[in-house]
Amino acid sequence: MPRRKLIKERVPTPERPPEERIKDFKEVNLGYTFELAVREAERCLQCPYEYAPCIKGCPVHINIPGFISKLVEYRNDPDKAVKEALNVIWACNSLPATTGRVCPQEDQCEMNCVMGKVGDKINIGKLERFVADYAREKGIDEELLFEIIPKIEKKGQKVAIIGAGPAGLTAAGELAKLGYDVTIYEALHEPGGVLMYGIPEFRLPKEIVHKEIEKLRKLGVRILTDHVVGKTVTIEELLQEYDAVFIGSGAGTPRLVNAPGINLNGIYTANEFLTRVNLMKAYLFPEYDTPVYVGKKVIVIGAGNTAMDAARSARRFGAEVTIAYRRGEEDVSAREEEVEHAKEEGIKFVYFVNPVEFIGDENGKVKAVKFEKMRPLEERDARGKRKIVGTGEYITLEADTVIIAIGKHPNRLIINTPGLKVERGKIVVDENMMTSIPGVFAGGDAIRGEATVILAMGDGRKAAKAIHEYLTKKRQEKANA
């Protein structure tokens, strides 16, 4: 490998200024141009494939130095560079425009990047995003797709996928590429799961999700929307029609604060608030028919990514927004970039407060939240976070809108399937991602509880491999019989 000069500082990506971006739902980060992407790509030390810690950190094990090197190698031919890079990414990840935007890279691929020892880590996420965006804008992804499609050898076996979120879409893409006849059953009117209803436009434009899903349709994946598995059709019925089933139904049931007044008007779960805003485009009301009520003072309870998304969305309606968290600043679980963006956009943070009562007015509308002040202990819980205890002191904050973002459970409609082993609300799978029902596999938040988009995609990919093995055995048994 040629010796090259170390460039310690990361090439920045342009961002829209806070005062401008809080007035709309357009994307905050504008991404790299080809020139900037090549400059960032040149910083990569090109660790060998077997060793590269970034690849190990990526849940779907994208050959990161591999795709980055293409940008440098073909720097004089941007289209060629992007096509080659996309080809490397697609081997492991069908939704790079999405993951490049929403993955917590600092905890995954970028976490162990060697460059971090001498300077800034390589901006892997933004490079992945650049490749996907440029390819989409130039139609390079289509070109590549049409080269892949004729090479697919049909297997003649059918797989049903429950849920069109990141896990289901990934499994579907992998299985379609392997030649299986794939049908996704989706309860909502749009595929995408949390990518459509949860993550706001200013982080992940819905147009991009649409286009990434369109690619899967071109690979032959059939998507049945409006089908609620457990109601429209049961898993037992799917097993009669399909050779295997994958459950990627996510963790869509919101957890509620167990405190008096939770059903007052103006108190939303983050899921309801974000679904209205993102999926139903309530921010364009009355051009869009779905309303949403956002008051002048909004309190968001929780400090995960969902809380940041809800807070920043509410801010875009012109509200004064406060995030109230029962632990401290160091315990916040949201991505650093999102917390930074939230602060830049003027969102306030209050730490060590736990809601104990929602106070309403005479019309049943919330007007304040009473919190108990908490304090941290030295002792840590299973996730390594400091335990907290109440102090017996209270504080009341005014609010005319409250958004609860304290987590989610897997959907009850699915986990009530007879014969499906479930522990603490999560579907139990073996090392091959198979559930207690033979031929039924599961992954993503349905088995993990609330996790990340990329972990769900990693599960989808792993399950697709396991399903492939399972169905290959089935084919062989049939041939031998």
Task: By CB under 8 A, name the binding residues for other proteins.
Answer: 187-189, 197, 224-228, 231-233, 252-254, 256, 262-266, 268-269, 271-272, 275-276, 280-281, 284-291, 293, 363-365, 411-413
Q: How far is the CB of 34 from other proteins (least distance, A)?
A: 35
Q: CB atoms < 10 A from the CB of 351, how many?
A: 18
Closest CA to 332 of 323, 344, 341: 323
Helix (H) or strand (E) holding 408: strand 408-409
Q: Can you say how many angstroms the Cα of residue 264 is from the centroid of all Cα atoms in its chain?
A: 30
Reduced to 3 states (helix: H, G, I; strand: E, B; else coil), residue 73 is helix
Minimum distance from CB of 383 to other proteins (Å)? 24
CA dihedral 314, 320, 325, 330 (to 10 degrees): 100
Shortest distance (Å) from residue 266 CB to other proteins: 8
Site of tokens 């995408």: 192
Assigned token pair, 143: 């070109």
Of 345, 351, 339, 357, nearest in space to 399 by CA: 357
Please give the full DSSP string across 208-274, using - where no structure is assigned.
Answer: HHHHHHHHHHHTT-EEETT--BTTTB-HHHHHHH-SEEEE-----EEP---STTTTSBTEEEHHHHH
CB of 185 to other proteins, least distance (A): 10
Give the C-alpha separation, 274 to 215, whole Å: 26
**Least distance (Å) between residue 288 CB and other proteins:** 5
Nearer to other proteins, 163 or 460 (CB): 163
The CB density around residue 228, as the number of other CB atoms within 10 Å, is 15
Query: Look-up: residue for tokens 């440029």?
Result: 134
Distance, in Å, from the CA atom of 195 to the CA atom of 163, rounded to the nearest integer, reads 12
